[in-house]
Amino acid sequence: MNRSNIQLAVVFAAMTLLAISCSQVVEEENLSVLVVRGGHSYDTPEFEIMCVRLNGIVVDLVLTEHMERMSASEIDQQYDAILFLNQNKHYPTSTKNRKQYMDLANLGVGMVFLQFTLSSQPEWDEYHDLVGGKWFLKNYETDPKKHSTYFTDLTLDIKVLDTAHPVTRGLSDFTMTDAYYGNIYMDPEVDTLLGTDHPDIAKVIAWTHVYENSKVVYIMPGFTKGAYENPSYIRLIENSLGYVAE
């Protein structure tokens, strides 16, 4: 091999090593997120499309029963955060599965809960301590004054209540059509993120707090294609996952 060919080979090898190195850096920078769905209808294809297109995030899409077969330590080792869009209100959660949520919180796994997760686990108070609030189902609440409400296809002006928080980084007030709730319970100790002035809707529609060792974010909207294709909402999800994964 002549000198020119040797030089070319050296340059090519260096470029190959650089490409591999850059690829490894990109992979290391990506967040690994477990996305848990099931138990309630929603605009499925659009939600999953949004998830796989999240910037800097690699997702595994599973159903609730699949997550429940995994140990908390296994989830902690494989994922940086969990994104929940699931609901369990029709059957009792086993002691084992309840323990899984608590084990995840003790391990410090970051969790983001969306939309109807607020009405899940109606008979399990610790779950709602974890999420930071509750939507009251009529079949599980005897006082009619406490029954929560919901409104579909509602267009709201959404206000950023905390512009300095990492979850709202890069966001300004925005408008979005989706499903929203009224007459909910929110833990007074949570940090409020987003709100609205609509008279029938809760004044706060997104919040964050720390439960045990986990950062937790709850976001009320997230039911329809209108949300999944809204740039501000997508940014909100990306920010939330990045924040709870820290």
Domain that holds residue 212: 31-244
Residue 9 lies in a domain: no
- Report if residue 146 sits inside a domain: yes
For residue 18, tell me if it sits in a domain: no
CA distance linking residue 205 with residue 233, whole number of Å: 13
How far is the C-alpha of 124 from the C-alpha of 186, rounded, in Å? 16
Residue 25, domain member (yes or no): no
169: its two tokens: 């980084």
How far is 120 from 90, CA to CA, in rounded Å?
9
Report the residue count for the chain: 246
100, part of any domain? yes
Question: In total, how many domains does the chain have?
Answer: 1
CATH number at residue 237: 3.40.50.880
Runs of H (alpha helix) within the chain: 3-29, 44-52, 64-68, 72-78, 95-107, 125-131, 225-228, 231-244
Q: What's the CA angle centered on 133, arms 130 and 138, to 5 degrees?
A: 120
> Which residues fall within 8 angstroms of residue 116, CB to CB, at 6 or more apart?
40, 42, 85, 87, 135, 223
pLDDT in the model for residue 118: 95
Is residue 16, in this structure, part of any structural domain at all?
A: no
Nearest partner of 205 among 118, 86, 88, judged by Cα: 118
pLDDT of residue 92: 59
pLDDT per 10-residue tile (average), the chain, 246 residues: 47 42 53 92 86 97 93 97 87 75 97 95 92 88 84 96 98 97 96 97 98 98 94 98 97
Residue 26 lies inside a defined structural domain of this protein: no
Q: Contact, 175 vs 156, CB < 8 A?
A: yes
Residue 74 half-sphere exposure, CB side, CA atoms within 13 Å? 7
Residue 19 domain flag: no
Q: How far apart are CA 245 and CA 34, in angstroms?
A: 12
pLDDT for the residue 141: 74
